[in-house]
Amino acid sequence: MQNGEDGIRKALEKKGAFGPDVDLDYYDEAGMKESIPDLKKADKDTRQIMEHVGVMADEEGRAGTIMFIDNSMSHCSNKMPEGIELLSTKEALKKYDWLKDYYWKAVSPEKDKYTAKTYLDDADGYFIHVKKGVKATYPVQSCMLIGTKKGAQTLHNIIIADEDSSLDIITGCTTGNHVNDALHIGVSEIYVKKNASIVFSMIHNWGTKTKVRPRTGTIVEEGGHFVNNYVLLNPVGTLQSFPVCQLNGKGASCKFNTVCMADEGSNVDTGGSVILNAPETTAEIISRNIVREGNIIARGSLMGNAPGIKAHLECRSIMLGNKGSTQSIPELGSTVSDVEMTHEAAVGKIARDQIEYLMSRGLSEDDAVSMIVRGFLVGSIQGLPDHLKAEIDDAIEKANLGS
Amino acid sequence: MLEIKDLHVEAGGREILKGISLDVKEGETCVLFGPNGSGKSTLLSAIMGYGTCRVTKGKIMFKGKDITEMPVDERARLGIGMMMQRPPNVVGVKLGDLVKATAGGDVKAVDNASDFKMESFLERDINVGFSGGEIKRSELMQLTAQKPDFVLLDEPESGVDLENIDLIGKKVHDLLYAKNNNCPNGKRCVSSLVITHTGQILDYIGADKAYVLRDGLIRCTGRPMDILKDIKERGYGECISCRMVKME
Ligand SMILES: Nc1ncnc2c1ncn2[C@@H]1O[C@H](COP(=O)(O)OP(=O)(O)OP(=O)(O)O)[C@@H](O)[C@H]1O
Ligand SMILES: [Mg+2]
């Protein structure tokens, strides 16, 4: 990678393919270094913030926990070290020479200024390695928190699921109570090996001025299975994310579920891209958005490069009120003929007859709208984990949707 | 209980009801006959307050209150319930959840689902892919959870097979006699306005009075069985003209 440094330095000038440009120089490095060996002893604010994004301080029902505050690891605990390894990325790179074969291999540092910055900052992050044949009963949880005003958090995570292993990962990314104006860049490289499975569920909860640029690349081998659930329920300054998943082995599969509620001037540009490179691979990209006052762009891209593949893309948005705006941008492409690829997109308001139907059972207009919105966000997506459903319910309840 | 005076209603930019007057007294079961497209469902929608139709003139009184401009949910809470002819699909919302919400959050409200042969539908999206007969049973289960004082039933028996018609008939009967709602035995506590083409449902509930609607107007009124017999023997045209003469 060394000889490519010049190119990467140049890439610092390269704007992201989507989303408004972010001035990186505006931010200082987020520099808090706080160690929290026992999460239960973290201060109450921190605990609340964590739990709000699904990360439990008591670690009940979790195989392990990783926490980053700003750019350094604050906590790492592991209840099943024989099956799963949890380290910081830097520690892992020191410990394992082979890790360089995974380092910057699913995401290119020259992709744009955000990846370039992460590379040049020599960013740390977490390393999760599920060993061969290990099927974890409980998920690993991770929390990424920005604790510094005007701070830039840059993280580089690597997840490797070895053959026949399976793990669920719950990630919550958020800002501290007093932090609003901040930048989060998170590079994640995920490797799902033969017949392995990763379910990666992420909740984001930011401030109204926070700028967020995650960069995720996943490579799935034969028979592997990758699910990416992404939930954004609170206002954000600007968030742009377009994870790319490559299905490189026969029969591999991938599913992206995205649930967004944009509000108060949020600028959200999300979606996902799946490249089906191997025969009989399958992919599904589902996105559900509620737009009130913000702007949401829902993207999806499917590219078929092998025979016998099946892929479906679905972007649906509901507009509540007249202040927001939304666009659905689905994209399908294929280089072979023997493929089945479909897409569906819909933008509109909730049908009045449905609201009135529920109201005729005595539900208030608010309750009727909430029920329909919940059905739209949760009921129509298969297999969302319960903690995400609970957070979505909570957000809907708080949102007073009928008004 | 319900009193409608000179009601004019527009739907889809057209006047559908052109001056309807009728009343349903407490505990009464009234039947609404009329050919396809005569405006029967529109009348029920106007009473429930659905936004698909707009009252341009006249008044709807319920329990002594003018409800002409009242929102749908307030009418429901005042005691009106409706079984729609063609209720909308609600994608993502489970039937069981709506029944519970209808019963004010009572989780036991779904315990009687098997009485309606709906136990395997509680986890399904409301009305999505339901057959004609299943929609009727689902609507009735919801109404039973709602415990209204006055029900609008839009063709409760149409499209229902011979076996299920018995179930529907008995459940409508129970609804009117408020079997689930402390009504004194044998008393019909719940009033209703029932649309039927065949009159089959009347075998289960009996009826006190019938109205015949045609081209947006009530053309005649009388005893349900007499009117049904007239319609069956002579069709709407004849029935209406002869009754009109009698009415005048
Ligand atoms: N939203 C609407 N837009 C246009 N026309 C409408 C609308 N609603 C009702 N109509 C028309 O009004 C007339 C009465 O409809 P309605 O559904 O009330 O008839 P009905 O008496 O219930 O008939 P059926 O016995 O077939 O159920 C029909 O001609 C129908 O097409
Ligand atoms: Mg009708």
Mean pLDDT (chain A) is 93
A371 touches chain B (CB under 8 A): yes
Q: A379 falls in which pLDDT band (50, 70, 90)?
A: confident
Look at residues A205, A335, A226 and name the one whose alpha carbon lies nearest to residue A285: A226
> Are A212 and A241 within 8 A, CB to CB?
yes
Q: Which of ligand 1's atoms lies nearest the C-alpha of B39? A: 18
* Helix pair angle (B132-146, B162-176), 10° resolution: 20
From B88, B104, B125, residue closest to A357, measured CB to CB: B88
Q: Do A357 and B87 touch (CB under 8 A)?
A: yes
From A362, A376, A378, residue closest to B76, measured CB to CB: A362
Residues forming beta bridges with residue B5, ordered by sequence position: B59
Mean pLDDT (chain B) is 91
Q: Do A356 and B72 touch (CB under 8 A)?
A: yes
A224 and A363 fall within a common domain? no
B chain contacts of residue A344, beta-carbon cutoff 8 Å: none
Estimate to the nearest angstrom the gap between the alpha carbon of A109 and the chain centroid: 19
Residues contacting A69, CB < 8 A, separation 6+: A32, A33, A34, A36, A145, A146, A147
> Are B127 and B101 within 8 A, CB to CB?
no
Residues forming beta bridges with residue A64, ordered by sequence position: A78, A140
Note the pLDDT of residue A4: 77
Q: Do B92 and A368 touch (CB under 8 A)?
A: no
Range B146-170 average pLDDT: 93
pLDDT tens for each residue of A349-366: 899 999 999 999 999 999
pLDDT at A35 over 60: yes
- Which of A336, A352, A368 is at the close of a domain? A352
Q: A387 falls in which pLDDT band (50, 70, 90)?
A: confident
Between CA A377 and CA A371 the distance in angstroms is 10
Number of H helices, E strands in chain A: 7, 21
With b meaning 16 or more CB within 10 Å and e meaning fewer, what string describes A255-292? bbbbbbbbbebbbbbbbbbbbbbbbbbbbbbbbbbbbb
pLDDT tens for each residue of A126-140: 999 999 999 999 999
Residues contacting B241, CB < 8 A, separation 6+: none
Between CA A286 and CA A268 the distance in angstroms is 16
Note the pLDDT of residue A2: 47
pLDDT tens for each residue of B4-52: 999 999 999 999 999 999 999 999 999 999 999 999 999 999 999 999 9
Residues, Cβ < 5 Å to ion ligand 2 = B 41, 85
Percent of chain B whose pLDDT exceeds 70 = 94
pLDDT tens for each residue of A111-129: 999 999 999 999 999 999 9
Q: B240 falls in which pLDDT band (50, 70, 90)?
A: low
Cα three-residue angle A99-A101-A107, rounded to 5 degrees: 105
Q: Which two tokens stand for residue B14?
A: 């057209």
A331 and A373 fall within a common domain? no
pLDDT at A92 over 50: yes
A317 and A338 fall within a common domain? yes
The 10 Å Cβ neighbour count of residue A241 is: 23
A260 and A379 fall within a common domain? no
Q: Do B93 and A371 touch (CB under 8 A)?
A: yes
Coil, strand, or helix at residue B98?
helix
With b meaning 16 or more CB within 10 Å and e meaning fewer, what string describes A200-213? bbbbbbbbebbbbb
Q: Residue B144's closest chain A neighbor by CA?
A: A361
Number of domains in chain B: 1
Note the pLDDT of residue B244: 54
Q: B172 falls in which pLDDT band (50, 70, 90)?
A: very high
How would you classify the pairing of strands B14-24 and B2-11?
antiparallel
Amino acid sitting at position A109: P
Phi, then psi, of A60 in degrees rounded to 5: -60, 130
Q: A179 falls in which pLDDT band (50, 70, 90)?
A: very high
Q: Which residue has the tokens 């992709």?
A: A111
A24 touches chain B (CB under 8 A): no
A39 and A57 fall within a common domain? yes
Domain that holds residue A238: 4-352
A374 and A331 fall within a common domain? no
- Chain B: give the shortest CA distance to residue A396, in Å: 14
Amino acid sitting at position A142: S
Q: Which two tokens stand for residue B196?
A: 């039927």
B chain contacts of residue A351, beta-carbon cutoff 8 Å: 88
Note the pLDDT of residue A239: 97
A10 and A124 fall within a common domain? yes
Domain that holds residue B227: 2-244
CATH of the domain at B130: 3.40.50.300
Note the pLDDT of residue A283: 98
Residue A35 CA to ligand 1 centre (angstroms)? 70
Q: A322 falls in which pLDDT band (50, 70, 90)?
A: confident
Number of domains in chain A: 2
- Chain A: give the shortest CA distance to residue B234, in Å: 37
From B48, B71, B101, residue closest to A371, measured CB to CB: B101
- Chain B: give the shortest CA distance to residue A289, in Å: 14
A31 touches chain B (CB under 8 A): no
Does the Cβ of B214 fall within 6 Å of ligand 1? no
Q: Do B91 and A363 touch (CB under 8 A)?
A: no
Note the pLDDT of residue A32: 86
Estimate to the nearest angstrom the gap between the alpha carbon of B127 and the chain centroid: 18
Q: Which of ligand 1's atoms lies nearest the C-alpha of B155? A: 27
Q: Which residue has the tokens 């010049």?
A: A6
Amino acid sitting at position A195: N
Residue minimizing CA distance to atom 26 of ligand 1: B36
- Chain A: give the shortest CA distance to residue B105, in Å: 11
Q: Do B73 and A360 touch (CB under 8 A)?
A: yes
- Which of A330, A352, A374 is at the close of a domain? A352
Residue B14 CA to ligand 1 centre (angstroms)? 10
Note the pLDDT of residue B180: 62
Q: B243 falls in which pLDDT band (50, 70, 90)?
A: low
Residue B152, burial from CB neighbour count under 10 angstroms (0-12, 13-18, 19+): buried
Cα of first residue to Cα of last residue in chain A, in angstroms, is: 54
Residue A353, burial from CB neighbour count under 10 angstroms (0-12, 13-18, 19+): middle
A230 and A96 fall within a common domain? yes
A360 and A245 fall within a common domain? no
> Are B79 and B175 within 8 A, CB to CB?
no
pLDDT at A397 over 90: no
Residue minimizing CA distance to atom 18 of ligand 1: B39
Does the Cβ of B192 fall within 6 Å of ligand 1? no
Note the pLDDT of residue A394: 86
pLDDT at A403 over 60: no
> Are A372 and A354 within 8 A, CB to CB?
yes
**CA distances from residue B181 to B104, B174, B186 in whole angstroms, order as listed:** 15, 10, 13
> Are A256 and A226 within 8 A, CB to CB?
no
Torsion of CA A361, A366, A371, A375, to 10 degrees: 140
Q: Which two tokens stand for residue B133?
A: 């007969």
